[in-house]
Amino acid sequence: MTTEKTTPYAALALRLSLGVLFLGHGFVLKIMGFGLAGTMGFFGSIGYPPILGAVVAVAETAAGVALILGVLVRPVALLTLPILLGALALHAGNGWVFSAAGGGWEFPAFLIMAVLVQAGLGAGAYAWRPEALRRLAPALA
């Protein structure tokens, strides 16, 4: 197999993995698990504006859905960077291992690199690309 044949499927695998991760963190953990009030309370307790907790939960959920469907993958991947940079800043002082008290910084750092790779690769195979979207912004679709 050649790179031209495998790259779209590698991009698909990365896109689905990131999509499930963002959907899990945004919807399952923050919205359904802690609830928006609990998430906002946590964000407030660590020094962030509480409303940012709701914004992050909704943004992660929307990013997860968009990535799974393959819609606007490049900009969606890049728009997750502020969330991931915030997570990296939060965990930076906790050391390397994410299982350490407070969680380490390697997982957010890896995710930053993963979304940058996804933005570079694009949607890959089996992405939902409405024809109107392709005509409007072919580089984004």
Report yes or no: 117 and 84 within 8 Å, Cβ to Cβ: no
Q: Is the pLDDT of residue 132 over 60?
A: no
Q: What are the residue boundaries of the structural domains of the chain, listed by start?
A: 3-136
Q: State the pLDDT at residue 96.
A: 85
Give 71-130 pLDDT, tens digit per residue: 999 999 999 999 999 999 998 988 888 777 878 899 999 999 999 999 999 999 999 876
Give me the pLDDT at residue 108, please.
94
Question: What are the structure tokens assigned to 109, written together?
Answer: 């750092």
**Cα separation of 73 and 64, whole Å?**
10
